């Protein structure tokens, strides 16, 4: 026989981990197993926190409460209002899902929460930079309503996409639907400010659609109109609602510790010394953009917070972290093709955050990591960049950001690709990329043994063990995977 079967060899889910930390990384089964054994009212809050933090991590296809906790801390560091908005949205989403009596395992894994997290964080982050006004109180009411509606939309789209021959996830489609409706319906008018107008500030030119900066910075691009620079630093006539806006420059790695915001004496250039080319790409700032891309997924423009989120993803899966970095690099470089100097959008991570999501989705999460799936993930990122440029052009006149719509459209197309053979092994029992790869290779090994059994005699006891392992891998209990899709094992197309 071509390959003998070893009945004593562990074949599933790292049954005997030598490292005690293994149960707490990946999808952190240890926490779920511990909480499932606890009953009583006193354990409701720990169970809520488990679901709450997993909702934050599910935005990045992670299912780990420690990852979610780090992400929430990063958001709160960048802007406390952003962290608060995300936390409030997640809480109302969980309550709504419980009232609707959705499946408990979906709530526990954060799948009913992650779209609400984005609605809270991105709305508060983008509102001031996009429209040039402070976040009004009524916006918080609509954020809560949007978080509630996102649960309904997520459930509806999950059922719709599951009805297809090839099951598709809803990804962050519910977030994009709610965010576009919210920004369109509550968009402040462009006009003079004054008493009774709600404190709207006249803005004669829009910031680049899709620009993500923290609401505390209120940083906006100033565009030239009719040869004059229009300054949006104005005050409302009503002192109770007046808000001062200031134009700030993005902080780069090379600026840290150099006193770039202070007036400094600069020696005059030598007559023979050439001035730097203003159209040249600053690769140090490019690195800054790659790092900021991770924070921009949640709408924050903070270097330290972005690095924290990278670390949070690494806690869940080093492979996922590496694939995300590749997506950020490709997206940031791709943005150079559609922008011109001074490349502000590229340097602030606006071209990399959709690439992170597109690479992570195809490169190891929904499709087990293989050579073919890796190159497919790269193609998905590049196509995402093209879609982002097209949407930015279309949305510019509408004064709307593109959110994560480029990632959703591109990834749904690439996940719908039908391929024969083992090039694109779809994952249906979602955990973390390393385990997806392990189960894919184990499945291949058992399939080879099964094929050999048809031609050669095998001891009845070994044959029974082989068939049992194949059934275990192929017939896992159905479970909703990250970003919304049903699961049940690894399938080979």
Separation CA 144–CA 190 (nearest Å): 26
Q: Which residues pair with 224 in a beta bridge?
A: 229
In the block, residue with structure tokens 């250039």: 269
Q: How high is the pLDDT of residue 479?
A: 47
Separation CA 309–CA 299 (nearest Å): 12
Q: How high is the pLDDT of residue 273?
A: 55
**pTM to 2 decimal places:** 0.76
Q: How high is the pLDDT of residue 25?
A: 82
Domains in the chain (CATH in brackets) are 24-250+281-415 (1.10.3430.10)
Q: pLDDT of the chain along its 493 residues, tens only?
A: 444 434 444 444 444 445 666 777 888 888 888 888 888 888 899 999 999 999 999 999 999 999 999 999 999 999 999 999 999 999 999 999 999 999 998 999 999 999 999 999 999 999 999 998 999 999 999 999 999 999 999 999 999 998 877 789 999 999 999 999 999 999 998 755 443 344 443 333 334 444 444 444 444 343 333 333 333 333 344 444 433 333 344 445 544 444 444 444 444 445 555 666 777 889 999 999 999 999 999 999 999 999 999 999 999 999 999 999 999 999 999 999 998 888 999 999 999 999 999 999 999 999 999 898 999 999 999 999 999 999 999 999 999 999 999 999 999 999 988 665 567 788 878 888 998 898 888 888 887 777 776 656 555 656 566 555 555 555 554 444 556 554 433 333 3
Separation CA 298–CA 270 (nearest Å): 45
Q: How high is the pLDDT of residue 124?
A: 96
CB 215 within 8 A of CB 82: yes
Rounded to an integer, what is the distance from CA 262 to the centroid of its chain? 35
In the block, residue with structure tokens 């983008």: 126
CB 313 within 8 A of CB 300: no
Nearest by Cα to 190 from 202, 182, 207: 202
Buried-state track 224-260, b at ≥16 Cβ within 10 A, e below 16: eeeeeeeebebebeeeebebebeeeebbbeeeeeeee
Nearest by Cα to 89 from 51, 121, 60: 121
Q: How high is the pLDDT of residue 488?
A: 39
Q: How high is the pLDDT of residue 394?
A: 95
């Amino acid at each position: 026989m071509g390959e003998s079967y070893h009945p004593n060899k562990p074949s599933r889910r790292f049954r005997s981990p030598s490292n005690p930390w293994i149960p707490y990384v990946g999808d952190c089964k240890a926490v779920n197993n511990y909480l499932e054994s606890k009953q009583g009212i006193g354990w409701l809050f720990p169970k809520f926190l488990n679901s709450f933090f997993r909702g934050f991590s599910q935005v990045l296809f992670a299912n780990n409460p420690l990852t979610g906790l780090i992400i929430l801390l990063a958001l709160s560091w960048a802007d406390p209002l952003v962290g608060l908005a995300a936390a409030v949205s997640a809480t109302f989403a969980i309550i709504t899902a419980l009232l609707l009596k959705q499946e408990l395992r979906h709530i526990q894994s954060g799948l009913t929460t992650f779209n609400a997290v984005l609605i809270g964080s991105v709305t508060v982050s983008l509102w001031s930079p996009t429209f040039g006004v402070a976040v009004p109180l009524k916006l918080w009411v609509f954020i809560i309503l949007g978080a509630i509606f996102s649960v309904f939309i997520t459930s509806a789209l999950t059922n719709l996409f599951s009805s297809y021959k090839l099951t598709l996830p809803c990804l962050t489609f519910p977030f994009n639907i709610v965010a576009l409706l919210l920004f369109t319906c509550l968009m402040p008018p462009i006009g003079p400010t004054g008493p009774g107008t709600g404190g709207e500030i006249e803005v004669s030119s829009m910031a680049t659609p899709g620009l993500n900066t923290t609401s505390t910075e209120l940083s906006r691009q100033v565009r030239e109109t009719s040869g004059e620079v229009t300054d949006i630093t104005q005050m409302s006539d009503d002192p109770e609602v007046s808000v001062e806006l200031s134009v700030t420059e993005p902080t780069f790695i090379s600026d840290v510790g150099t006193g770039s915001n202070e007036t400094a004496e600069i020696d005059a250039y030598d007559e023979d010394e050439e001035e730097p080319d203003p159209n040249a790409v600053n690769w140090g700032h490019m690195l800054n953009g790659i790092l900021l891309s991770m924070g921009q997924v949640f709408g924050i423009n903070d270097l330290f917070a972005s690095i924290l989120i990278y670390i949070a993803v690494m806690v869940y899966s080093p492979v996922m972290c590496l694939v995300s970095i590749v997506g950020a690099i490709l997206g940031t470089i791709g943005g150079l093709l559609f922008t011109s100097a001074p490349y502000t959008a590229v340097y602030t991570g606006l071209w990399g955050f959709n690439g992170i999501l597109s690479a992570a989705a195809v490169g190891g999460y929904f499709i087990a990591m293989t050579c073919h799936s890796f190159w497919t993930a790269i193609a998905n990122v590049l196509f995402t960049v093209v879609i982002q440029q097209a949407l930015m052009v279309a949305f510019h006149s509408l004064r709307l950001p593109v959110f994560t719509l480029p990632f959703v459209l591109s990834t749904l197309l690439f996940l719908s690709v039908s391929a024969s053979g083992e090039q694109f092994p779809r994952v249906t029992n979602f955990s973390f990329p390393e385990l997806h790869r392990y189960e894919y290779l184990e499945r291949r090994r058992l399939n080879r043994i099964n094929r050999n059994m048809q031609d050669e005699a095998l001891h009845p006891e070994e044959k029974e063990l082989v068939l049992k392992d194949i059934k275990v891998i192929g017939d896992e209990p159905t479970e909703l995977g990250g970003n919304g899709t049903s699961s049940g094992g690894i399938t080979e197309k």
